[in-house]
Amino acid sequence: MPFIGRRRTARRAYGFDEIALVPGASTIDPEDVGISWQVGDLRFALPFLASAMDSVVDGRTAVLLGNLGAAGVLNLEGIQTRYDDPDAVLEAIAAAPAEEVVATLQEIYQAPIREALVGGRIAAITDGGAPCIVSVTPARAARLAPLAEEAGAAAVLIQSTVSSDRHRSRRGEVLSLREVVERSKVPVLVGNCATYAGALDLLEAGAAAIFVGVGPGAACTSRRVLGVGVPQATAIADAAAARDEYHRRSGRYVPLVADGGIGVGGEVAKAIACGADAVMLGSALAKAEEAPGRGYHWGMATPHAALPRGTRIRVGVGGTLAQILLGPAVVDDGSQNLAGALRTAMGLCGAADLRAMHEVEIILAPAIATEGKRLQFAQQVGQGR
């Protein structure tokens, strides 16, 4: 292990840009590979979840995603459950000057969460024929999770920057993930984590799925503000090792969701190869024509009253949700037809399904994105954007 000082060692970690997948000795027709996945009794045709961010998911997009075979996660602590007319609020966020946007978001998210809106938003999604997955923070899980379950939510995601069943605080009672899982009649998904030990902690608490990623999101600034995070390729591989060890010991297989740092098809394929069963997409879907963010995207911790850990970014508007997930692609940068890209990569690697993709060979290849691409970079097309 390398030293960063006389008595301080540091483990090397890797991001998606530093690895590549090796083609298999045999290949498979992309149409013959399986990319469905399951959490609890919920089965999805596509391994894509839309992030629980107000710029990405509202009732309408959740229904559209469900109809496509994916799923949108509704943030129960966001604009949709604080305002009768979220569209007006979203317009205000999009119109805010860059130098005022954090203060604007902080003010907007001070409005109280209204229980009636929680039930109404969930009902709108389920009435649209889509399974409703909702997100809550540990601080509000005891109050909101039962409300969501009663309203018809199909699953509850308890999510924070880093989640742990061994959190300590002198300020009062701390949420027990084990107790929430035991009381719930629907699958309880938990995140986020970025290490073997952190993943194992969540698995042993009974999580139905674990989410991996601390700070890689396009709109997240946690790594700069806090200095905390692990590059996604290593984080996913370490969490997958914990998942596999837990499966060996308990006989219960728990899906792993890679959350953050995934915007193009190659990153989806690499996340699955590192051990994920599905990926959570934020900025990649915030640019959809149907997305509520009006061409903007902001992190969940951006409105934090004391220490914002996100920013509003301009992602633009390009393509429908169907185009982004299923194609046909009309751009050359890998941001559309993510399912087709994943199927093609799996076929080239000889992986018949997602579990088989976990076993493909991965190499360290820091030049993979630039080798032979001088003209693309010079002309700012394809990989050179």
Please check whether residue 252 lies inside any domain of the structure.
yes
Find the radius of gyration of the CA atoms of the chain.
20
Among 48, 117, 112, 109, CA closest to 84: 117
* Distance between CA atoms of residues 252 and 206, nearest Å: 10
Tell me if 6 is assigned to some domain: no
User: Are residues 279 and 357 in contact, defined by beta-carbon separation less than 8 angstroms?
Assistant: no
Taking the C-alpha atoms of residue 246 and residue 214, their distance in angstroms, rounded to an integer, is 22
Asked if residue 286 lies in contact with residue 220, where contact means CB atoms within 8 angstroms, the answer is: no
Helix (H, G, I), strand (E, B) or coil at 310: strand
Per-residue pLDDT tens for 175-225? 788 999 999 999 999 999 999 999 999 999 999 999 999 989 998 888 899
Q: Does 124 fall in a domain?
A: yes
Supply the DSSP string of 98-146, one letter for each residue: GGGHHHHHHHHTTSPP-HHHHHHHHHHHHHTT---EEEE-HHHHHHHHH
Question: Taking the chain (385 residues) in consecutive chunks of 10 residues, what is each chunk's mean pLDDT?
Answer: 88 96 98 97 97 97 98 97 97 95 93 96 97 94 94 96 79 79 95 96 97 92 91 98 98 98 97 98 97 93 82 94 97 96 98 98 89 82 77
Is residue 28 included in any domain, yes or no?
no
Query: What's the CA dihedral at 342, 348, 349, 354 to 10 degrees?
Result: 30
Q: Report the CATH number at residue 94.
A: 3.20.20.70
Helix (H, G, I), strand (E, B) or coil at 251: coil
| Domain presence at residue 324 | no
Token pair listed for 147: 């409300």
Amino acid at 131: P
In the prediction, which pLDDT does 173 show?
A: 66
Q: Are 186 and 149 in contact (CB under 8 A)?
A: yes
Residue 291 is predicted with a pLDDT of 98
- Are 338 and 284 spatial neighbours (Cβ–Cβ below 8 Å)? yes
Domain of 89, in residue numbers: 34-317
- Check residue 333 and give its pLDDT: 92
Domain presence at residue 291: yes
Q: Tally helices (H) and strands (E) across the chain.
A: 15, 16
Q: How many domains does the chain have?
A: 1
What is the structure's pLDDT at 346? 98
In a domain, 376, yes or no: no
pTM, rounded to two decimals: 0.95
List residues with catalytic annotation: 220, 314
Position 3 in a domain: no
**Of all helices (H) and strands (E), which one includes residue 185?**
none
pLDDT of residue 374: 83
